Amino acid sequence: MTARPIAVVGASAAGLAAAEALRRFGWRGPLTLIGDEPHLPYDRPPLSKQLLHGAWEPERLLLRTEEQLDPLDLDLRLGTRATGLDVATRTLTLDGGELLDCAGVIVATGVAARTLPGADRIAGVHTLRTLDDALALRGRLAGTGRRLVIVGNGVLGCEAAAVARELGHEVTLVGIGAIPMAEAVGTEVGELLAEEHRARGVQLLTGAVDGFGTTADGADPAGTDDAQITDVRLADGTRLPADLVLLAIGSRPAVEWLADPALDTTDGLRCDAYCAAAPGIYAAGDVARWDHPVHGRPLRFEHRMNATEQGMAAARNLLAELAAEAAAFAPAEPADSTPGQERRAFAPVPYFWSDQYDIKIQAYGLTAGADRVETTVLDRTARRALALYGRGGSAVGVLAAGLPPRQVRALRAVIATPLPWEEARERVRAATAAG
C-alpha cells in the first residue's frame, strides 16, 4: 500500500519551515507542499522595504532555490489552491478537483490583504501582500514626483511611506487613528514615529476613506477597464489628489477554504497549545490562532519569526501524533515518522521588527492590547526610545527603537514570562544601563 502523504498547505515561510522540519524530524513518506502563488517560497518582510525600494531583486527574497529544495523530495504544487479539507478523513480538495488523501495536514496559508469596495477595478490602487503586488507597485513608483496616498497608518503603511519618501514621491498617510502604529506600539512611540515622518515630508491625516475619484467619473466604473485613480475622498469631504493609492488597511486570515464545521475559523484557524486544530490537522504562521500556554489565551501573530518557529513546532507535534497513531493501530500507517517523540506546547517569545528611514524598531512579547504602557524617550532627535507594556499587573512586552543590538537582545529575557510590573521595570533598567 502506498503511504499517504503529509500535505503542507501554503508555500510560505511557515510552510517551508514545516516541510523542512518534517524531513529533519524523520518523516520519510510522501510530502506535498501546496502554494497558490507560482513562486518558490520567499520572504515577505522585504516586500515593503528592500524590494519596494529597488535595493533588492526578487531572487534575493527566495528562502530556498530549486536546488536547495531538491533534498526534501517534495511533491511541489505551485500555482495550486486548496479549496476544501475534510477533517474526518484528512482529505484535501485542490482547485483542479483532485482529492488528496493525507496522513496529516499542516495549514500555513497566511493572510490576505484587505481592500475596499470597487478598488480592484481602478488602475493605480494597490495592495501589498505578495511578490507580484510589490513588483506592480514598485513599477508605478519608478521615477519621482508621484502623489501617493497610503490608506492605513499601521506597520505596513508606515514602512511603505518611508520607502516612497526616500524615492522622492509626495506621500500622504491617512489613518482612522491620529497616531501611526499606535495600536501596535502605543501612543508615545507612535508620536515619535509621527515626528520622523513629518520631518521627512510625509503628510499625516486622520480620516475614513469614503470613495475614490477616477478618470471614469460620470461613467459606470464597472464597465470601464481603464479607469485611473485621480483622488481619494474622505468622509469629511476632503479630496486628496493621487496618482497612486496603497491600501494598507490590514489583513484577514486565509481560512475561507476551510468550511468543515469541525474547524473554528474565527480570526484564523483555532488550535490548541500544540498547534492542533483537529486530529492530524495542524496550523502554523499568520493563519494560526492557538492557546499560548504562557499568556493563557488564544493568540495569533503576523510576525516573521513566529512563522518559522511555529512551522517547526507544528511539524514536530504532527509527527508525534502520527507515531502514536501508528503504535496504536499498526500497521495502518507505515513507520514513516520518528517514534518516541512527545508533543510539546508551543510557547514562543513573540518578536517583531520594523525599519523606517534610519529607525529600527524591535519588540519582544505582547505590545498590542496593553492596559499599561511606560515609554522612556532616550533621545528625541535620534528617535531612540524604550517602552514597557503591561496587562493585568504584569509586564508582557518591551520595545526598543534605535538601541544597539546587545541591549535589545538583553530585553528578551525580561518578558520571556510575564513578570510583576515593578520587577520588570527594574530588569529593563539593568538590561539597558550600560552603553
Q: What is the pLDDT of residues 336-368, one digit of tens each?
A: 545 457 999 999 999 999 999 999 999 999 999
- Give the end of a domain, one of 224, 247, 270: 247
Residue 2's pLDDT band, with cuts at 50, 70 and 90, is low
User: Do residues 17 and 120 share a domain?
Assistant: no
322, part of any domain: yes
Give the per-residue pLDDT at 404: 86
12, part of any domain: yes
User: Do residues 121 and 231 share a domain?
Assistant: yes
- Lowest-confidence region among 42-46, 102-106, 374-378: 374-378
227, part of any domain: yes
User: Do residues 139 and 233 share a domain?
Assistant: yes
User: Do residues 233 and 276 share a domain?
Assistant: no
**Residue 78 burial by Cβ neighbours in a 10 Å radius (0-12, 13-18, 19+):** middle
Please report, in angstroms and rounded to a whole number, the separation of the first and last CA atoms in the chain. 64
1, part of any domain: no
364, part of any domain: yes
Three cell numbers at 295? 499568556
User: Do residues 179 and 191 share a domain?
Assistant: yes
Question: What digits encode the pLDDT tens for the residues 3-24?
Answer: 899 999 999 999 999 999 999 9
345, part of any domain: no
User: Do residues 298 and 241 share a domain?
Assistant: no
Give the per-residue pLDDT at 329: 64
Give the per-residue pLDDT at 1: 43
pLDDT surpassing 60 at residue 324: yes
Place of cell 480592484: 120
- Number of structural domains the chain divides into: 3
Give the per-residue pLDDT at 339: 47
231, part of any domain: yes
Q: Buried b / exposed e across 151-163, counting CB within 10 Å, b at 16+?
A: bbbbbbbbbbbbb
Domain at 79, CATH number: 3.50.50.60
Look at residue 93 and give its three-state secondary structure: strand
Share of the chain above pLDDT 70, in %: 94
User: Do residues 178 and 206 share a domain?
Assistant: yes
User: Do residues 57 and 94 share a domain?
Assistant: yes
Residue 405's pLDDT band, with cuts at 50, 70 and 90, is confident
Whether residue 242 contacts residue 147, with contact meaning beta carbons closer than 8 Å, is answered with yes
Q: Provide the 10 A C-beta neighbour count for residue 309.
A: 21
160, part of any domain: yes
- Give the end of a domain, one of 194, 227, 247: 247
pLDDT surpassing 50 at residue 125: yes
Q: Is 54 left (phi over 0), alpha (psi -120 to 50) or beta?
A: left
Mean pLDDT (the chain, rounded): 93
Domain encompassing residue 216: 115-247
User: Do residues 364 and 394 share a domain?
Assistant: yes
User: Do residues 20 and 46 share a domain?
Assistant: yes
User: Do residues 97 and 121 share a domain?
Assistant: no
> Nearest Cα to 299, choosing from 276, 254, 269?
269
Place of cell 510575564: 418
Question: What digits encode the pLDDT tens for the residues 45-86?
Answer: 999 999 999 999 999 999 999 999 999 999 999 999 999 999
Question: What digits encode the pLDDT tens for the residues 406-426?
Answer: 888 889 988 888 899 999 999
Residue 429's pLDDT band, with cuts at 50, 70 and 90, is confident
pLDDT surpassing 50 at residue 230: yes
Give the per-residue pLDDT at 340: 53
Give the per-residue pLDDT at 410: 86
Helix 13-24 with 304-329: angle, nearest 10 deg: 40
- Give the end of a domain, one of 284, 311, 329: 329
The reply to whether the predicted model has a pTM over 0.85 is yes
Question: What digits encode the pLDDT tens for the residues 199-229?
Answer: 999 999 999 999 999 998 865 545 455 799 9
User: Do residues 225 and 144 share a domain?
Assistant: yes
Return the amino acid letter for 45: P
Domain at 381, CATH number: 3.30.390.30
Instruction: Name the phi and psi angles at 106, rounded to 5.
Output: -115, 120
Question: What digits encode the pLDDT tens for the residues 268-283?
Answer: 999 999 999 999 999 9
pLDDT surpassing 80 at residue 384: yes
